Amino acid sequence: MIGHQLSRDDQSHLASLDAEIRAVSEHLQRLKADREDFIKSCTSASTSAAGLSNFGDGAHLSVTDYSNHGDFVWSGELLPRATRTWPSVKSFRFDQQAICNAALDGRDTVVVMPTGGGKSLCYQLPAILDRGMTLVISPLISLSYDQCLHLREAGVSCEMMSSAVSREEASEILRRTKGAPKVGDRQEDIKVLFVTPERVAKSKTLISALQASYGANRLSRIVVDEAHCCSQMGHDFRPDYKQLSKLRKLWPTVPIMALSATLGPKVLEDVRQILGLGPMTPFKSARPGETVYFSAPLHRANLHYSVVAKDSSAPRAAQQVVDWILERHEAHSGIVYCLSRKDSETMSKNLSELSEGRIRASWYHADLDDASKMRIHERWRSGKVHVVCATIAFGMGIDLGRVRYVIHASPSKSLDGYLQESGRAGRDGKDSDCVLFYRPQDTLRIAGLVTGDRNGIEKLDSMVNYAQSYKCRKVLFGKYFRDSYGTSDLCGVCDNCIQPPEVADVTVESWQLLTALEEMYEEGGRLTLADLCNVARGLGNGQYTVVERKTASGKRKRRASQSKGRSGVFSVEDIGGKVSLSKENAERVAMHLCSNFWMAYEYNATAYSVNVYVKPGPLASRLTRLDLERVRAGEADARIEVALAGKNSPSKPRKAGESGAPRHEITKAIRGRFKSQKEGGGAEEEVERDEEEWEDGVAMSEVAAPRKRRQNSRLAAAKHESESDTHDAGDDDDWEVSRSGRTESRFSMLGMSGKASSPIELDSD
């Protein structure tokens, strides 16, 4: 009945409130579920050890403490054998010895250990001591080649099956896997066999050989490396990994060891079910018949994390990377991760050319054949190449200790992936740098690539909140991965600890952006994030693109600006004047709104890419239902805070966190160099100055007069026509965009705090 008593606008507002109530209710239910899961995990982890046994086959009735290293028959042999095989190993790290104890005791195990934490030793040492063969399922050629090379250097009989192996070599490996004798054969039995998940999923001859090995009681262990690849909720899902569910069915008595550097609670449960593992049990009180769980602290004190504001110009952004490397790590080994194959090739050429040969770089991606990959990998290991510019196809399992830096030229698709990729640095324990060059526009480009990925946007939001956060990087990782050690104290060496950024209350600016977006969207506007920020800042004469948009019923929605053709005009008077932020910081605020449900994404597929636009999100009405004066008076029920970059005039600036460590000399040098880059420049810089002068001209009046708008229409039209090329996700024709599948509701997955979120407020997979 109430609907008949309200105007259309009132009904729309009521519907918006109802939607917000439903969203809040869903969020509360999710928080309650997360609370129950957390209580259960704490209870499980704190189970006291009782009735400890000595040693045995893992099938005894009492619980076992695998950290009690003197209780096992092999206890005295582990470290001496490890030292003889790998002279660099002087002692065990983290829980390596306990993991070896559980493996030699015949238990299923799950090992979550940071990149560089020593996961490889956890299966290689038991493989050497055990009778029979250990099958290692590893996802990448570079990983298999690297590990096989190290084992052979250590005198361990090791083989690798890949497309780089000849037919004759493959036949010989399969024969030895079966254990079939050969006249005059003096080769040792294979102790470790590396294969890819694709080969396990599709090669009948390999499965037949492994079946023969199992029948002869020679298959002693199966190791699934990078186990997070099994789960679609993981950051690097591979369909063939899901086929590994047949391992337990084919060889039910063979213990399985699952290894990963990033395995959140949800992904862990998914992996457990796919691999047919039993419930998790803590290694200090391991119950019989269950899977022994090991987790080492994620934080590595020698890794110094930082985020650098990336220049919007591609040439100047490349120069930033070159200057950073030459200033801090000239002639050192490093990795530069790029978003696409084309990006990796371009970055490699830029590093070599802009440094005038001082940086020797090469590229690595999935399009290269196996021989080329191995050649590049070997040249990098030997020091002939300083830097490998690569996609994520390079790096998993790389064991080169002297990597002094890992640069991400663009954000990763998830925080899980970023932690793993950055962990390639400093594996020798020496100080190393992990740097992200970040600008919001890169995130939108990635959003177009992950539209078909399960939880793709939720994972990307975790990366955005990391990049824009003002909190300690160690704490951010710890909260996201629910690592209690990581949240205990600050690291003192990341950029946010050394020099806490300025944090601004941008609630008013957020209201302006959201109100402008609502008005233009209601009129049929289709805006990229950059379009929205430009219009709200008073640029482009307020012009924006208008399209026909269908309603839920399939009818075309009418728009008030229909007579204006495909262009609408917005007046900043409607939002109380221009948004008084720089271009970069306006985009930072807008990106924060996108990753925290104030705004949402809208997609449009083209022949080569998926373009990403913005629209009001489920929380938008929390602000836009208020007028500007009430927001300025502080009556909004949510305060939005964002760490701003560079010079600006925030509404209410404050320092983030407690007093930081003394200013780092290198940090000052880098900031000074970036500043000089912005002040200098050539012809391309002159173009940017001309645009800034035009922006300053607009800034002299609160709102441009209609006549002034007409005088500037030609310039605005030119800018407007070029914006899609600059801001849309569609520059590279080699993007691999999945158009199948659905992007699930982001609101039901993440937190909705109005404050600048840290990854603790996000789903940790």
Q: How far is 314 from 455, CA to CA, in rounded Å?
A: 29
Q: Nearest CA to 254 among 133, 143, 361?
A: 133
Tell me the β-bridge partners of 137.
Answer: 195, 224
Cα separation of 46 and 739, whole Å? 45
Torsion angle of alpha carbons 580, 583, 589, 592, nearest 10°? 170
What is the rounded CA–CA span in Å between residue 555 and residue 549?
9
Instruction: Average the pLDDT over each of 40-44, 464-468, 549-553 and give the range with the smallest value.
Output: 40-44
pLDDT (average), residues 686-708: 31
387-441 pLDDT, tens digit per residue, is 999 987 675 546 678 999 999 999 999 898 899 899 889 988 899 999 999 999 9
Query: Among 128-137, 139-148, 410-419, 713-722, which is the least confidently predicted range?
Result: 713-722
**Do the Cβ atoms of 568 and 548 come closer than 8 Å?**
no
**Interval 451-509: pLDDT, tens:** 877 788 888 999 999 999 999 999 999 888 876 565 668 999 999 999 999 899 999 99
What does the mean pLDDT of the chain come to?
78
For residues 590 and 533, the answer to whether their CB atoms sit within 8 Å is: yes
**pLDDT, tens only, 288-335:** 999 999 988 888 899 999 999 999 899 999 999 999 999 999 999 999
The residues that bridge with 601 in the sheet, in sequence order, are 614
Parse the chain into domains and list their residue ranges: 11-43, 47-295, 504-677+698-761
From the CB of residue 443, how many other CB atoms can be counted at a distance below 10 Å?
Answer: 25
State which CATH number among 3.40.50.20, 1.20.1440.230, 3.40.50.11720, 3.40.50.300 fits the domain covering 47-295: 3.40.50.300
Q: Name which residue leads in pLDDT, 55 or 89.
A: 89
Query: Percentage of the chain with pLDDT > 70?
Result: 73
Judged on CB neighbours under 10 Å (0-12, 13-18, 19+), 714 is exposed
On the question of pLDDT at 48 being above 70, the answer is no
pLDDT at residue 677 tops 80: no
From first CA to last CA, the distance across the chain in angstroms is: 44
For the domain made up of 504-677+698-761, the CATH class stated in words is: mainly alpha
Position 262 confidence tier, pLDDT thresholds 50, 70, 90: confident
What is the rounded distance in angstroms from the CA atom of residue 707 to the CA atom of residue 709?
A: 5
Q: Label the pairing between strands 280-282 and 387-390.
A: unpaired
Just list the catalytic residues.
Answer: 119
**Cβ neighbours of residue 459 closer than 8 Å, sequence gap 6 or more:** 235, 413, 414, 415, 416, 450, 453, 765
In the numeric block, the tokens 């399992």 are attached to: 397
In our burial notation (b when 16+ CB lie closer than 10 A, e otherwise), range 127-142 reads: bbbbebbbbbbbbbbb
- The pTM of this model reads 0.69
147 band by pLDDT with thresholds 50, 70 and 90:
confident
pLDDT at 110 over 90: yes
Amino acid at 297: P
| Distance of alpha carbon 413 from alpha carbon 450, whole angstroms | 8
